[in-house]
Every structure is written in C-alpha cells, then in structure tokens.
C-alpha cells in the first residue's frame, strides 16, 4: 500500500486524514504533539516538528513515503513543498514559490511588483529600522510577524505611543525575525477559497469571517460572503493572474480579504493548504465538492480530470469554533434551542480538557451550521456567542 505523510494530526487535519485513507493510502501523521485528536484517525504516528523542514525530510525518507500532504497550517505548507522538492515527490509548488505566497513580506513585495490589490506594506528585518520609520507612518497601521497565522503577534496601532511595543511584540514572535507594517483598511473580513486547475479557477466558495474573543483570530465563518457577486470576477482574475505568473500547480488557492467600505477587495493572505477548523466540511456541504479529498489528490499529484468544475454554493452555512469569554473550569456547552435546528454536525472535545486556560485562542469544539436564508444566517452568526457558549463551573 502506498504511504502518505500528513504533517500534523490536529482536529483541523481530520478531513485530510480521512480523505487520504478513503483514496487508499497508509496514512502517517507527524507533529510534536502526540495527544492531538487527529492522530487517532491515522494508521501511524511519527513524532517531529512539522515546521522543521529538514526533520520532515528525514521522516519522509526514513518512512519511504510516496506522497506528502500539508497540514492545516502555513508551516506545514512550507515544509511539504520543501520535502517534495528535495525528494522529487509530486503535487507541490517549488519551495521558493511557496515562500512567496506564505511569507507576508515576500507576498507584499510580489503584490507591489505585479499590481495585486493588497494593503501595501513596508517590511523590516531590524528592530531599529522599524522604529526609525515612525515619522513616515500614517496611523492606524497593522504590525504583523511575517510567518504566523491566527492573529498571533498582530497589533492594530492607533498612535505613535503604542508603536514601539507592537514592533517589539511582532519581532519577538516571528520565527524568521521579520515583520511587516501595513495600513489599516476599514471593512469586513471574508474568504474566497478556490480550486486552481491549469491556472484557471475551476470552482470557488466564499464566506464572511467573524472574530469574537480575539480581534485577529477567526472563530466563525458563514457564506456565501456578503457582496461576493460584486467582487468575485476581480478575485477570480487576480487568482488566475497569480497562478500564471508563479506557474502554480493544480490545487487549492485560498484568499482572505477585506472588503472596504467602498466595496473594494484587499487581499490579506493567500494559502495553498487546507484551511483549519474543519473549513473543508462546510465547503463540501454547500458545493457538493469533497474539498479535502481533492486537496489530498492534488498534493499527491493525481489527475484533476474529474473535478466538478463550476460547482456553486447551494446551501447557506458555515462553522463556529466554540470559545469562551474568560478562563475557567468547564461543566458543559450551552446550545440554544433556537439554533439546534441549524446544526448538522459537530466535533466536541471539551470533556477531554475541562478547562479554558487562554480564552483568546482556546477552542473546545466546532459546530457545522446551515440556514434557510441570508437574514437568518447573518442574525444568528453575528450573535452566535449568545446561542452557543461554554458553561463554567
């Protein structure tokens, strides 16, 4: 039986692991946390830090894998492309291309050179250079590490007085020791998840993104995205432009963007991996496309001849990560009767933890949601913390 290495085993990676087994692979998961729930679904676990590209290369070689698949994390996408390039495995962009898309400073430079709509940032490799730039900055700005996701190390800076602390925080948290400073764009947050085949968008899924406990960590999404019909043509054109310039291989191409008050889309991030927190499940539920399976297929270098091109979102819905509003011991999860009928699936692990230690990032479960109409969807999702939340002791 052919072997595939999937670079982690978090709850987010379960759809990938299941898809790989369905296709017929012997699934090896890695990562430095053997306690993660996803490892229960794989055939074998081999420890290793998935952000360590050389370690992952050794794991792949020693286990004689036939394919490698990123986990639901940017470091996984970077490691997968490195290993694939070194070992001659199929299904991944070149390592340098992956760095352009997944490192914020390199993507911002690429965007500037190729007229890609994004908040154009200044990047810094030295702390003193970032501080000396303060006289050129028009506040508010966003200060970000170039290589972290989930809002880690990100600060919205309103004034000169808060700038130095934000720069220090971003530098301290960035594994590469690099940061970007970009204009703050007022607007709403969205995703535009596409599948690229032969440099063309074959299908897409869109949604609104919401942050509740932490302003920079997306905990909830629901689609189709508001006003997507006004920006989809532009986002498709941009996706295909990037695919042509970088000669991207077939596979997922996920955009996070801000829709400004004048309805202009500004791209914040691009990833070429499965999005986290079971994101692929509402995509599949709405479009009918087995999203995680096609991600695995393309990362294994398999043909896309049978991909269901042109599929659209037929069902309104999304997913919500269950989070709290404070730290503390848990005794259960509250789900309002008003939203029970909207839940079609869930993954709950609060009983294994029984505690929230950092409510800004800790999740205790995920529910999958569908709605009858847009009005119901927007009302319930925007007030989701009233409908679903942890019960504390």
CA separation for the pair 259, 265 (Å, rounded): 5
CA separation for the pair 267, 257 (Å, rounded): 4
Bridge-based pairing of strands 179-183 and 141-145 is antiparallel
For residue 277, give both structure tokens: 């927190």
Q: Which pLDDT tens digit goes with each residue over 329-347?
A: 999 999 999 999 999 999 9
For residue 225, give both structure tokens: 């995205």
Predicted confidence band of residue 149 (pLDDT cuts 50, 70, 90) = confident
Q: Which pLDDT tens digit goes with each residue over 83-130?
A: 999 999 999 999 999 999 999 999 999 999 999 999 989 999 999 999
Give all strands of the β-sheet with 3-6 in edge-to-edge order.
Answer: 44-45, 26-29, 3-6, 67-69
Report the number of secondary-structure helices (H) and strands (E) in the chain: 14, 19
What residue spans define the domains of the chain?
Answer: 3-100, 120-183, 315-393
Distances (CA, A) of 250 to 12, 265, 296, 298, 300: 22, 24, 11, 6, 11
Contact 275, 254 (CB under 8 A): yes
Comparing CA positions, the residue from 294, 300, 306, 211 lying closest to residue 254 is 294
DSSP secondary structure letters along 90-111:
SS---HHHHHHHHSHHHHHHHH
pTM of the model: 0.95
Domain 315-393 adopts which CATH fold? D-amino Acid Aminotransferase; Chain A, domain 1 (3.30.470)
CA separation for the pair 275, 218 (Å, rounded): 11
Q: What is the dihedral of CA 101, 258, 214, 353, to 10 degrees?
A: -60
Name the helix (H) or strand (E) containing 64.
none
Q: Which residue has the tokens 């390592």?
A: 95
**Chain centroid, CA 145 distance in Å:** 16
Instruction: Tell me which CATH code domain 120-183 carries.
Output: 3.30.1490.20
Share of the chain above pLDDT 70, in %: 100
Mean pLDDT of the chain: 96
Would you state the pLDDT for residue 215?
Answer: 87
Instruction: Tell me which CATH code domain 3-100 carries.
Output: 3.40.50.20
Comparing CA positions, the residue from 245, 266, 241 lying closest to residue 256 is 266
pLDDT value at 304 more than 90: yes
């Amino acid at each position: 039986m052919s072997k595939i290495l999937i670079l982690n085993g978090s709850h987010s990676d379960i759809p990938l692991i299941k898809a790989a087994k369905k296709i017929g692979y012997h699934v090896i998961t890695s990562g430095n946390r053997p306690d993660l729930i996803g490892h229960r679904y794989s055939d074998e676990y081999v420890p290793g830090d998935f952000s360590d590209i050389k370690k992952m290369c050794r794991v792949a070689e020693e286990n004689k894998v036939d394919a490698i698949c990123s986990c639901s994390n940017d470091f996984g996408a970077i490691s997968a492309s490195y290993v694939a390039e070194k070992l001659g495995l199929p299904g991944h962009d070149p390592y340098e291309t992956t760095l352009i898309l997944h490192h914020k400073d390199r993507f911002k430079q690429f965007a500037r050179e190729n007229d890609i709509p994004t908040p154009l940032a200044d990047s810094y490799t030295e702390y003193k250079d970032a501080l000396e730039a303060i006289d050129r900055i028009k506040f508010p700005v966003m200060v970000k590490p170039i290589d972290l996701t989930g809002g880690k190390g990100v600060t919205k800076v309103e004034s000169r007085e808060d700038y130095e602390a934000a720069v220090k925080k971003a530098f301290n948290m960035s594994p590469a020791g690099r940061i970007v400073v970009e204009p703050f764009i007022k607007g709403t947050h969205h995703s535009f998840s596409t599948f690229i085949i032969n440099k063309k968008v074959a299908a897409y899924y869109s949604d609104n993104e919401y942050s509740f406990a932490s302003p920079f960590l997306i905990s909830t999404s629901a689609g189709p995205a508001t006003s997507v019909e006004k920006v989809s043509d532009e986002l498709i054109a941009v996706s295909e432009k990037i695919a042509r310039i970088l000669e991207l291989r077939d596979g997922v191409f996920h955009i996070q963007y801000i829709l400004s008050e004048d309805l202009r889309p500004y791209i914040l991030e691009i990833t070429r991996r499965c999005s986290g927190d079971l994101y692929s499940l509402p995509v599949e539920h709405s479009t009918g496309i087995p999203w995680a399976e096609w991600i695995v297929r393309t990362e294994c270098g398999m043909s896309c001849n049978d991909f269901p091109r042109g599929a659209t979102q037929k069902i309104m819905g999304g997913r919500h990560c269950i989070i709290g509003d404070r730290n503390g011991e848990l005794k259960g999860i509250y789900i309002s009767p008003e939203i029970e009928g909207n839940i079609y699936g869930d993954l709950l692990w609060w009983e294994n933890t029984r505690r929230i230690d950092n409510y800004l990032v800790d999740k205790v479960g995920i529910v999958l949601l569908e709605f009858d109409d847009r009005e119901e969807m927007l009302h319930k999702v925007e007030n989701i913390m009233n409908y679903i939340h942890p019960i504390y002791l």
